[in-house]
Amino acid sequence: MEDSNRCPNPSIHEVSQPSRRAVLRGAAASAFLAPLAGLGLAGCATTGGGATGTALGFKSVPISNADTVTVPEGYTAQVIAPWGEPVGLSGDNPAYRSDASNSAAEQEAQFGMHHDGIHFYAQSATSGLLVMNHEYTDDGLLHAGGMAPWTAEKVRKAQAAHGVSICEVALKDGRWDVVRPSPWARRITARTPMAVSGPAAGHVLMQTAADPSGRRVLGTFNNCGSGITPWGTYLTCEENFVNYFKGPDQPDAHQARWGLRKGDPAGYRWHEHDERFDAGRHPNELNRHGWVVEIDPHNPSSTPVKRTALGRAAHEGATVAVTRDGRAVVYMGEDARFEYIYKFVSAGRIQAGGAAANATLLDTGTLYVARFDADGRGRWIALTHGEGPLTAANGFADQGEVLIKSRQASDRLGATKMDRPEWIAVDKQGWVYCTLTNNSNRGGKDQLGVDAANPRANNGMGHILRWKEDGDHDGLGFQWNHFVLAGDPLNERAEARGNVKGDAFACPDGLWVDARGVLWIQTDMSTSAMGKGELAGLAHNAMLAADPATGEIRRFLTGPAGCEITGATGTPDGRTMFINIQHPGESPSERSDPAAPTRFSNWPDKGPHRPRSATVVIRRVDGGVIGA
């Protein structure tokens, strides 16, 4: 048994850049040792992951229908970095206009819409970089007059409101604020040039008329979950990319397997003014999205890179662990009904020297897909060309095609089809957790029935599954179990009650393990279902804290009307937490009426102002560690 008085192994969040403690063991570790010990960033908390008593030292907040952020007694919540505020580009700080009249060029210098995954990179005890995703847009809020008329300028503005924002933040007089201007400030959008690397780079299925090389893509969009690397970079994940494309009258089998349908069902209408989003005219453009993109936030002139060795998917996140011999392991969920859980194991070891020294580390290695067996054991199956059914005869000409068609490859390999696997987190004991947010189709007519890993029909509540690898994170076998089945014990239907030990919740999505080992759970009940049926008793979306050692779960925060709670990160000393409030005031149709933008919410500005996604800074009044 591990000595509970020893400092536990650091999490990846404690070592996310070369200036902080290393997760590596062996020769490469010394290059990452932090020079920040004198700043109070290198110590560990005295309570670790519930090893002695409960790790949860706060009083639960009640469920809420209030249009505000509620935190426990003794805590404060401060709003920073809302959509439309300038990120701090030098000499270019266009003010947000509450009537949505900002231009596309101005939006390119402002925080995007619908904040999602986020990470804090410490530069000192009181400053650092915040990097955050912007998943999608609500055109009813983004434009004055909404989509009427629909113009090339509005398409460009919508594309500018997607992607990633990088800003500098600093603590002064008890408040965190965005530093403007900042040499690190940057916007990455749906029009930013991206490099393509790995086995699919240059592949015939990646080549287009605009890019016959198949190695340079414009933009990243629908950026959902995220990840961080020990060498200081940020991983942003392209999720529901297919929604932006107009499908041909008869999508082929490959396009259909990725959800492409005839016409423009999602109604983004980008193809009307940017023809690369017409999949009938440019079918390979679809293949150039759905990747994990690596960004170096410390180098504003660097080119983002789409890492194809990690596979193509509707990526929710990319969580990095490290093997004992220093190889990177990236865990990834695919947020779609009946899709898969993946992991990538790098061939090489992490090197000293930060991002430059590890610029190609994620380009070579093995991608695996998970199979969960009924006996509580599981197996990782390699997506390797020429092995098993992954041959040219079955439609996989080479490794690049296997990765571009990772869904079809996983189908062939007999992997377990899951209930929308989303965020993944690794605790201090080596358990890997994955949120399965829901799947109302499970067990329905002409749909897959329940299985051991996905045990509930009409799974509107979701669950959290966990596994521990055999030996190390590169193990091919694992043991697994259910950490919790979400639900409300007051529901009439037994399958919707769950087995939560503590505060009820539904639709787990965001997931983060903090430096003490506490598992933070964020929920995403859709606006079309929130407050209705079996979700009626749960009100707004929430963030909860779980003690992995005891299974106890407490509600820590509730959000404003219509929002999703997402993204979590914190300062190394554990005294500040940053989370994101996404799409407050969202309409059940997910697109607002431009004539009534405040119909469902006016958070955070209140008054006659339209709702805005924003980052919330959480601190204790007494300056203590969050959650302790």
Residue 253 is given by DSSP the state: H
Q: Above 60 in pLDDT, residue 11?
A: no
Q: Which single residue is written with the structure tokens 């290059």?
A: 31
- Check residue 415 and give its pLDDT: 98
pLDDT of 385-401, one tens digit each? 999 999 999 999 999 99
Q: How far is CA 507 from CA 138, 140, 329, 464, in A?
A: 22, 26, 26, 10
**What share of residues in the chain are helix, strand, coil (percent, to 5)?**
15, 30, 55
When mean pLDDT is compared across 3-12, 290-299, 498-507, the lowest value belongs to 3-12
Residue 573 is given by DSSP the state: T
User: What is the pLDDT confidence band of residue 594, given thresholds at 50, 70 and 90?
Assistant: very high
Task: Judge residue 69's burial from the number of C-beta atoms within 10 Å of its C-beta, 0-12 exposed, 13-18 middle, 19 or more buried.
Answer: buried
- What average pLDDT does the structure give for the chain? 92
**Distance separating alpha carbons of residues 24 and 9, to the nearest angstrom:** 10
Are the CB atoms for 507 and 486 separated by under 8 Å? yes
pLDDT of 233-290, one tens digit each? 999 999 999 999 999 999 999 999 999 999 999 999 999 999 999 999 999 999 999 9
Q: How far is CA 358 from CA 46, 167, 294, 363, 470, in A?
A: 34, 24, 11, 10, 27
User: What is the pLDDT confidence band of residue 53, given thresholds at 50, 70 and 90?
Assistant: low
Q: Above 70 in pLDDT, residue 72?
A: yes
